[in-house]
Structure 1
């Protein structure tokens, strides 16, 4: 992999990268405020002696997430000094042509970092709310879908919870559309107070001169969530401004 990216083995090795990770983060203990043990956990190293490990089975998930978030910010701060030709090899000229500069490309990744985990949470919550509503109507609803809604059973899983976790967000939007259960995806209080003007003050929140009802609000939010989710998880561009960048 490193060779394909243009690095000779004398320049960069996997163990060298791991060593760099450990050295820098140990040197920055005062900045990120975490213990060296968390750095070792991120590297999948054993912590403590055999006796200590027999008692301590902690995975340090939150601490590792915090450390890796710090590491990502640290890399971005220093990424601006990367050799331009190597940067193009990493991301491709075709992709970078959609951005005005390397800096804008990096800012787009920062935006993705901020919203990706939130989108994952939103998707899981909406999915579960729709499933609960459908189960009230028919416990075996997954196996009685109309022909235009495709159920992914590629792994031949038959367990209900496994199946719902494998479906795309577009699947859930289609279920909502077909069964007309838009309101079940969101709390009624949320829809009552929700205003699109909060995000764009020129939004009139009307359809054919009539104010949007909760059914329509829910539908629009679902479509927007699907579009934003798809762009985020395919690393597409969020920044609106566009100038052709030529190296």
Structure 2
């Protein structure tokens, strides 16, 4: 796919050498409001060429590629002065790799496998930061915070639709040290399960909460949340 994204949509390039994985990620991005996939690349060299040609707003970049590593691709982009948004989407968990990606300017780092909501939370965070300075010559403090908060710096900026009061209540529930499901958090805070999960996933994206999948019985595994650290 090489069709330019509509003005209101952010253009996304998927970089993964596994065709099936790239297809799944493409479907996930296409489900996210305000995003559109404009291309897919299977190698680092192709990714660099497609980024130059398509000018995407965001690149979902795997670390393990046949030629260059994703971190090398990111370093080459930054070395060339290209500030395209990059989200590492990979199975690589090595601390050195994570640190290298952060130092090279990755906006987020998402470990495979993941569910749609995991990606959606990070996409929303990226979109908020990306649009914060659009069309302004001088930034206000709130705009600046929206850019830096997704990387763990500055005052927290909540995605659209989330309230400060409810976010604080969810964070307080996590601060108890207990592991909670979205339903249990919803009962404590007094919101719907869907709303509680949005807040919990937001804190996961911010690195202030961790999530694990609890398997058992039929159906999908249960997502259990706890405070990080």
Flag the structure with more relative contact order, 1 or 2, with Cα contacts below 8 A and sequence separation at least 6.
1
Relative to its length, the structure with more strand (as a share) is 2
- TM-score normalised by structure 2 residue count: 0.28
